[in-house]
Amino acid sequence: MDLRLRNSVVGACGITVLCSLMRVYNFIQTCSYSQRENESKQRLSSPAGLQRGSWRSTFHFLSLTVLLSLVGSRVSSFIVLEFSLRVVSAWASKGLDGSSRGLDLLLIQSQFSLGCSLTCTLAFLHQGAPHSSFSLFLAAALSWALAGLCHRLWSHAASLYPLHSTELYCGKCITLQTSGHTILGSLRRAVIVAFAFAALAATSTVYDHFLSKKDALKFWIPLTLCYSMLLFYIQENQQRQPGAKALFHTVVVRLGGLLVLMLTVGNWSDVLHVLVSFLGEGVCMLPSQDLLQKVLKEDEETRL
């Protein structure tokens, strides 16, 4: 349990880094798009008000740590593979046409899956490692430092960037002003790399626990096809009904499908872990309403 707790700390730190940097990017983009002084004041005050208090951030981080530690490696592997398959289905159905909206929505929805991918990868890499405890402690410490750095950057940008970006005497704000537009692209590449490694680890875990049994492929091939069809349905439904409700409906449907799958081939602990994943998705999505609303608002403006 101690090793799983350290894995979950790394996963929670990864989610914190993702959310903090996305907020920084969206905030500086809002600042750069402001043209008139009155409009600037109105728009800049809103994102700054979205900055959460320290106790809320701490509670959010601890909640993610506990929930990720409760989700087993088997269910984490399925969540990673499910999200990877959902991304592939989005590309196949042309749901992602290269627009920033589709990519931003995927990043927002990938939070808990990203945490599971990090825990799944670490658990796979440290199987049988002689110094796994020390290695995981070092990984958790480095992740904690990186998450704290990104959160402080968001706090600094939310409170001081509107002033420092015009005065040009703050090194952090000057750096954000000159290279802040590259943050989102770097996040996308980092998330892709994380899921690429996690998909390999998850495939190995699923094979060891499920596919290595006799005649397992005869049972899993129809299940995989049915689940793939469900993901295509989710993607098309999300395109027809864009909005926050559609995203939450997507979470319920895909985790509901995973719950049915675990009832079919898993055990009761796997079923409980899927239920914990419902809570994890809620803990990630509810505090991200500011990011979600901004992306949906930009999509509405683009359509008009």
State pLDDT tens for residues 116-146.
999 999 988 888 767 778 888 888 999 999 9
Residue 254 near residue 86, CB atoms below 8 Å: yes
Q: What is the pLDDT of residue 94?
A: 57
Residue 238's nearest CA partner among 112, 116, 101 is 101
Confidence at residue 64, expressed as pLDDT on a 0 to 100 scale: 93
* Better pLDDT: 49 or 58: 58
Tens digit of each residue's pLDDT (9 = 90 or more) over 52-81: 456 788 888 999 999 999 998 889 998 998
Higher pLDDT among residues 114 and 129, named by residue: 114
Q: Tell me the per-residue pLDDT of 178-194, one tens digit each, with 9 for 90 and over.
A: 888 889 889 989 999 99
Distance CA 254, CA 109 (A): 12
Residue 99: helix, strand or coil by DSSP? coil
Q: How far apart are CA 101 and CA 230, in angstroms?
A: 22
Q: What does the pLDDT average to over 244-264?
A: 77
Q: How far apart are CA 201 and CA 44, in angstroms?
A: 43
For residues 42-54, b (16+ Cβ closer than 10 Å) or e, as one string? eebeebeebbbee
46 Cβ contact list (under 8 Å, min separation 6): none
Report the pLDDT value the prediction gives residue 38, as an integer from 0 to 100.
45
What global pTM score does this model have?
A: 0.86
Rounded CA-CA distance 49/288 in Å is 14
Give the pLDDT band of residue 300 (cuts 50, 70, 90).
Answer: low
Q: Residue 107: which pLDDT band, with cuts at 50, 70 and 90?
A: confident
User: Is the pLDDT score of 44 beyond 50?
Assistant: no
Q: Which of 289, 261, 240, 264 minimizes the C-alpha distance to 77? A: 261
Average pLDDT over residues 165-182: 81
Whether 107 contacts 188, CB under 8 Å: yes
The residues, ordered by sequence, that sit 6+ positions from 113 with a Cβ below 8 Å of its Cβ are: 79, 80, 82, 83, 195
Give the residue carrying structure tokens 């706090």: 155
298-302: list long-range contacts, CB under 8 Å, 24+ apart.
Answer: 298/100, 298/101, 299/101, 299/242, 302/99, 302/101
pLDDT at 263 over 70: yes
Which of 198, 206, 199 lies closest to 261 in space, CA to CA? Answer: 206
Closest CA to 106 of 232, 167, 191: 191
pLDDT for position 111: 93
Q: Which residue has the higher pLDDT, 203 or 217?
A: 203
Residues in the chain: 304
Could you give the CA distance from residue 96 to residue 106 in angstroms, rounded to a whole number?
Answer: 10
- Average pLDDT of span 93-105: 60
Helix, strand or coil, per DSSP, at residue 9: helix
